[in-house]
Structure 1
Amino acid sequence: MTADLKVHADRLRELHHAGEMLVLPNVWDAASAKIVAEAGFPAVATASAAISEMLGYPDGEGAPWREMFAAAGRVARAVPVPVTVDAEAGYGMEPRELVDRLLEIGAVGCNLEDTDHGAGGLVDAGAQAERLAAIRSAADDAGVPIVINARVDTFLPASGVSEEERVAVAVRRGRLYLEAGADCIYPIGVGDERDIARLVAEVPGPINGNTRPGGPDLAKLRELGVARVSYGPRLYREALANLKASVHELLT
């Protein structure tokens, strides 16, 4: 099994450097994962907000980690392609435990936030870099070089970073996280094209972008040099909106 996971981890990493933008329509269960994989996408990513909401809990590590990992495991078992898991801030796990839990469910990548869900705001950048380095080391020891997508949360209002400083702080954190062993930097919430272009130019590694109404579309993100695009809970919420419309039609 370790050999198969290593193949998937290597493939997922290659997709970040293939010259073609990696598009990840985030999923929340086995059925949505199968739809994405069968459509031809080369990898599958989970969305923590969608899974926690599906399970009846708030986002931001509001759901028990065992339930989150169980749901992600069902996703990984359902598809033949590499799976990367939105592991939020890591649920307080020690690096080796986090790596072991990911590999146990068949995941070969993870998102890790630099938000402190207990105290609020961002965690210390140096401490986050040390944690990422320890996770990288634990993954190497396990024989599966999991792909770490390090989230930089400076563009979120709860970060406490002023609008004027967000890009500069994101660049500093992104560089630090890459040096620590992260594979990709995810400045969640950034939507201004000039900010995205600066991040792509000044952070020496793949950048994960988002599409959202009113923001850059896939073509523009590709033009700006974004390497990876994820959708978070957007598709899950669109599916629920369609369900809501359908059931209301039954009452008319």
Structure 2
Amino acid sequence: MTAAPSEDPVGAAAAFAALHHADVPLLLPNAWDHASALALAGQGFEAVGTTSLGVAAAAGLPDGAAATRDLTVRLARQLAGGGFLLSVDAEDGFGRDPDEVAASARELADAGAVGVNIEDGLGSTALHAAKIAAVKAAVPHLFVNARTDTYWLGDGSHAETCRRLDAYLQAGADGVFVPGLSDPDRIADLVKTFDAPLNILYAPLGPTVARLGDLGVRRVSLGSLLYRRSLGAALDTALDIRAGRTPQGAIPTYADVQALSAPRLDP
């Protein structure tokens, strides 16, 4: 049985927004299915995001091609009422038309999501701003995290990053996301420049979460890292067994995983 979305979606979204203004950064782990999301929530994470790469790859679909729109909405419905706040990675909004993007955001919000992450892919700044404005007009309470790919896909132009972020905030974005940026000085400059929560993608070789918090970062996402680490762990385990070695690391029991998939019944 799928649980119903929160009876107070506005209040839930406000609680999620408040996590971006706490004393420490919001560490947002990203799940790719029902079990991974509930396992993370079970470890005390108050909010959990989804990873578009993980959701797509697990289904044998390409990331960033709007191929997982329906699958993502379905996952949001499955996770509704799971005892945590859900933010959804919606790629570029699953379309080019701002009205279609707003419709997808409305469907995700109705499913139980309190936030969406929408990426510009280094496309038209004006179009991305129009998507953000359309989403905020359709679902005012939904936390819109506006992502620019100037560092992820581009040459890391700081001026271009600022230009894009300014346009997205003017359009109504609640927070901004700059994956691929790890330079402390540039991070600090963005924090000083914009009066909005800055989201940075965690990098194993980059600043720690504590250091990012000292710089003023308000949200640290794990993106596809957990999914990729899980895939790597599966390969390591198979190779260890083939080589006659005992697999290392934590292994949830069958019952543990079964419990994550069990129907959640109302008391």
Shorter chain as denominator, the TM-score bin is 0.7 to 0.9
* Count of residues in correspondence between the two structures: 236
* Aligned pairs (5 A) from 1:1-252: 3-61=7-65, 63-77=67-81, 79-92=82-95, 94-115=100-121, 122-140=122-140, 145-157=141-153, 159=154, 162-163=155-156, 166-252=157-243
Matched position secondary structure for 1:110: strand
Matched position secondary structure for 2:87: strand
Residues 104, 169 of structure 1: CA spacing in aligned structure 2 closer, same or farther, 3 A cutoff?
same
Aligned-partner Cα distance in 1 for 2:102–2:90: 14
Partner of 1:119: none
Matched position secondary structure for 1:23: strand
| Counterpart AA for 2:206 | G
Matched position secondary structure for 2:21: coil
Aligned-partner Cα distance in 1 for 2:112–2:224: 22
Q: 1:138: how far off?
A: 0.6
Unaligned runs of 5+ in 2: 244-267
| TM-score (norm: length of structure 1) | 0.87
Matched position secondary structure for 2:139: helix
Aligned-partner Cα distance in 2 for 1:177–1:40: 32
Q: What whole-Å deviation, never above 9, does each CA across 1:144-170 have from its counterpart, x for those lacking one?
A: x0000000111123x4xx44xx11111
| Counterpart AA for 2:120 | D
Partner of 2:248: none
Matched position secondary structure for 1:135: helix
Contact in 2 for aligned 1:26/1:230 (Cα 8 Å)? yes
Aligned-partner Cα distance in 1 for 2:231–2:105: 32
Q: 1:107: how far off?
A: 0.8
Contact in 1 for aligned 2:93/2:105 (Cα 8 Å)? no
Aligned-partner Cα distance in 1 for 2:191–2:29: 21
Aligned-partner Cα distance in 2 for 1:219–1:130: 34
Root-mean-square deviation (CA), in Å? Answer: 1.7
Aligned-partner Cα distance in 2 for 1:138–1:71: 21
Q: 1:20: how far off?
A: 2.2
Q: 1:63: how far off?
A: 2.6
Aligned-partner Cα distance in 1 for 2:164–2:38: 35
Residues 139, 17 of structure 1: CA spacing in aligned structure 2 closer, same or farther, 3 A cutoff?
same
Unaligned runs of 5+ in 1: 116-121
| TM-score (norm: length of structure 2) | 0.83
Matched position secondary structure for 1:229: strand
Off by >6 Å, runs of 4+ in structure 1: none
Contact in 1 for aligned 2:119/2:146 (Cα 8 Å)? yes
Contact in 2 for aligned 1:29/1:74 (Cα 8 Å)? no
Paired-residue identity, %: 37
